[in-house]
A and B are shown apart, each in its own frame.
Chain A
Amino acid sequence: MNKEVAIELRRITKTFGNVVANKDVDLTVYKGEILAILGENGSGKTTLMNMIAGIYYPDEGHIIVGGEEAVIKSPKDAFRYKIGMIHQHFKLVDVFTASENVILGVNDGSKYRLSDVNERVAAIAEKYGFIINPKKKIHEMSVSEKQTVEIIKVLYRGADILILDEPTAVLTPQETEKLFAVLRKMKEDGKSIIIITHKMHEVLSISDRVAVLRKGEHIATVNTAETSEAELTEMMVGKKISLNINRPEPKNPCERLVVSNISSVDSEGVQVLDDISFTAFSGEILGIAGIAGSGQRELLESIAGLYPITSGEIMYNNPASGEMENLRNKTPMQIRDLGVRLSFVPEDRLGMGLVGNMGITDNIMLRSYTKGKSMFLDRIPPKNLAKEIIKSLEVSTPDEETPVRRLSGGNVQKVLVGREIASAPSVLMAAYPVRGLDINSSYMIYNLLTQQKENGVAVIFVGEDLDVLTELCDRILVINGGKITGILDGRTAKKEEIGLLMTKHVSSAEAKEDESNAEK
């Protein structure tokens, strides 16, 4: 194979505040190859690619394109170096046609004639085997068609290096196959393709080489043909790091929440939860591991009554009456009226959890405003609670009336968790409660969750750091593409094992194969 270097990264470092997103990353991409970039959530894959595409500018290091040092400060610069990135979230104008989106922002000096653009779009589509109607409006398109428009947009500008950020996350297997066929054609055409993905089987099927990133660092680049799923997983999750999180044995666990066979589809008709069944016990922490967007959020929201489910039951064992109650299709308010105490720490702290412009007291009152018989609000108890949270959780804030949006991420998170805990829940669900927190704040949150567990609360913890999951949780549920791929014991689970379950391609055919293999 003719190995001509297309782009080379030398010792690239990027930090956001005190978080190191990429550290001394070296990477080489050759012409006419497909390089897969593999890594866990937060391993710095997207950040690295954003630096090539001109979204971010590296703090240190060099980018060399075609033998010369390149300074890429904006997406426009990137296009000058013939680099184009297809983002995970499409950047398209809904009411425009495919062609109008393609031509947007391009000013090559030629006369603006949409019929010419239509022709050129059709020509590009034909060359690489896309199927697209240039005159179709974006809002009438399927997800895969939209992605096609994004790719054509990049090709129209003459990109030779294409970066695709998790292109298959939104595609069906058939659409993925089509996309891969197109990518292979582009490769033959001499283009370099960098593809970010979590899916191991895709890495193995499409890429020529794989670069593995872990915690912002480049671990290794290997030839796909010479590696295996197991080796890649091991490189991806790394060696076990001991965190010394206190994990007492669960005391008298009893069934608190029994979720059986729930399924759900999102607004676009994509199945986000597929036949999920599990039981959460009181007095234990149930961890949920999975690649971001595998259905964690939808699962928690459907338990909290915020997300509609199409089938299945969520049974809740009421500790007050000892009766089982069905939570399905109840509004959050009804769930509370039933005496079901469910505290929910949403992923998006300021979006769903707290009102940014209100102080801590007012935010606490969002949970308690229905209390009391008078038509006026009693501000004294929430205010005292606010003071208590500030003191016990060491929230650094001028006072309890300062708008929470002015607090740092860690302090906001403490307020949110503190409020949910204060309502003495029997089930506490926390999604990414330590995201963006420094190490001390993280430990404080872990201890709070452990404390709740010791108080007999059933804690459900959605996390992304496998080291934390394996040290904090009593049991770990692995979710992959809306399906449960395994429930492991937190004390014995290996990171590699979880990693494999998170990334493994599960189709019904393979599942059956596994079963038959197991029988043998």
Chain B
Amino acid sequence: MLTFLTQAVRIGMTLLFGSTGETISEKSGHLNLGVPGVMCIGAAFGCVSETIYISKVGSLTDGRSFFVYLFAVLIPILTAIIGGALAGLLYSVLTVSLRSNQNVTGLVLTTFGVGLSKLMITSVQKKIISASVTGVNISFTQASKYFTASLPFANKLGVVGKLLFSYGIMIYLAIAVALIAAYVLSKTRLGLHLRAVGENPATADAAGINVSAYRYGATCVGCAVSALGGLTFIMDNLNGNWEYIIDAMGWLSVALVIFTVWKPNIAIPGSIIFGGLYIAASYINGISLATKEIFKILPYFVTVVVLIITSIRNKRENQPPAGLGMNYFREER
């Protein structure tokens, strides 16, 4: 049971990154369906930078300086952020400056991101092989140890310690980012302006808010956050094993945004529920493979139910931003 809960949290935080990023960009009115692609890009950028880093400093064996390990964590995080921001920039250039359709652009970004990550990982594998000839062992499983390294006292605190403190840096980062996003959106002038841009860009424009700048900014920041989700999935959830199912996490994140009615703070428990539902099948004994797959669609099912409930109640606060999915340009007379 305890492992189930901790695993649910770990998967959940991957989704939390994805959905926080998506919420930020949706609040600006950008329906970015490129999140799965962005997460792939984030993971791939992180892995590539990790590969280059290890091949420069040598294998991450025990007993090296603390800073070697620290940079092994920080560099992939930084490059994932850069990769995500670049993907966000691409999306914004297409939708804001070139006024292309947001849905199409998002789906293109997903396809592009998945493809690009495959290309990058293939070259990483080549690099690993060539490096092993020179005696450098590039191992993501080894690197992921430092991503998942928990505070030393976690295991001494019993169940509570396990439940609250046994996670790696990415998990806490995800919660911090979600809380910051929730605070900025609801409590600051920046957040007010951003929400106005997403709700009613014409009004925001008339109030002297630079709609394009806000959309560019929010989308780049949002994608950077989402990209961290991809990295978390590989380095934390899968302990450094690359699997091509990151995009599934991306779609779950998009569903999570709807599930949590565009609120990053609700997304924190929401993501854990999603994570739990996603892995529930593996922790129930004696069910067939087919049943397991049915369990995996539970998050989507729950999202549909939430969507139906919020639509029936029709409370304005729980609706998507009114300007979502629509590009804005001043009407010319």
Contact = CB atoms under 8 A, between A and B. Distances in A.
Nearest to A91: B203
Interface stretch (A4-12, A97-105, A303-311): A97-105
Contacts of B333: 16
A103 B189 CA distance: 9
B322 A94 contact: yes
A95 B200 CA distance: 10
A105 B195 CA distance: 12
B10 to A, nearest CB: 34
A443 interface: no
Interface stretch (B158-166, B205-213, B282-290): B205-213
B193 A104 contact: yes
A157 to B, nearest CB: 10
A139 interface: yes
B199 A93 contact: yes
Contacts of B78: none
Interface string A89-123: 00111111000100111110000100000000000
Contacts of B204: 93, 104-105
A75 B207 CA distance: 8
A94 B316 contact: yes
Interface string A59-84: 00000000000000011100000000
B231 to A, nearest CB: 33
A494 interface: no
A103 B204 CA distance: 11
A137 B315 CA distance: 12
Contacts of A103: 189, 192
Contact of B208 (A16, A74, A95, A100): A74
A107 B190 CA distance: 10
Contacts of B209: 104-105
B202 interface: yes
B62 interface: no
Interface string B130-142: 0000000000000
Interface residues of A, number: 19
Given A103-B192, A107-B189, A112-B189, A95 B207 contact: no
Given A95-B316, A112-B189, A104 B196 contact: yes
B243 interface: no
B188 interface: yes
Interface string B168-207: 0000000000000000000111001101100110111011
A93 B208 contact: no
A97 to B, nearest CB: 10
A104 B316 contact: no
Nearest to B189: A112
A91 B196 contact: no
Interface string A159-202: 00000000000000000000000000000000000000000000
A104 B317 contact: no
A93 B196 contact: yes
Contacts of B317: 95, 137
Interface residues of B, number: 21
Contacts of A93: 195-196, 199-200, 203-204
Contacts of A92: 200, 203
Mostly helix, strand, loop or mixed at chain B's interface? helix
Contacts of A112: 187-189, 192
B298 to A, nearest CB: 30
A162 to B, nearest CB: 16
B274 to A, nearest CB: 26
A93 B206 CA distance: 12
Contacts of A137: 316-317
B207 to A, nearest CB: 3
Contacts of A96: 192, 195-196, 199
A48 B38 CA distance: 48
B263 to A, nearest CB: 13
Contacts of B187: 112
B188 A94 contact: no
Report which residue of A96, A105, A137, A139 has the largest number of chain B beta carbons within 10 angstroms of its beta carbon. A105
Interface in A257-279: none
A91 B199 CA distance: 11
A101 to B, nearest CB: 8
A195 B125 CA distance: 72
B200 A94 contact: yes
Contact of A100 (B192, B202, B319): B192
Report which residue of A76, A104, A106 has the largest number of chain B beta carbons within 10 angstroms of its beta carbon. A104
Interface in B92-129: none
B320 to A, nearest CB: 11
A414 to B, nearest CB: 22
B206 A91 contact: yes
Contacts of A100: 192
Contacts of B199: 93-96
A107 B209 CA distance: 10
Contacts of A94: 199-200, 316, 322
A104 B319 CA distance: 21
Given A74-B208, A91-B206, A94-B199, A105 B193 contact: yes
Contacts of B203: 91-93, 104
Contacts of B207: 75, 91, 104-106
Nearest to B201: A93
9 contacts: A16-B333, A75-B208, A76-B208, A91-B203, A94-B316, A95-B195, A95-B319, A105-B196, A105-B207
Interface of A: 16, 74-76, 91-96, 100, 103-107, 112, 137, 139
Given A91-B206, A104-B193, A106-B207, 16 more contacts: A16-B333, A75-B208, A91-B200, A91-B202, A92-B200, A93-B195, A93-B200, A93-B204, A94-B316, A95-B199, A95-B316, A104-B209, A105-B196, A112-B192, A137-B317, A139-B316
Interface of B: 187-189, 192-193, 195-196, 199-200, 202-204, 206-209, 316-317, 319, 322, 333
Per CB-CB distance, the 8 closest pairs between chain A and chain B, nearest first, are: A105-B207, A112-B189, A91-B203, A105-B208, A76-B208, A93-B199, A104-B207, A93-B200
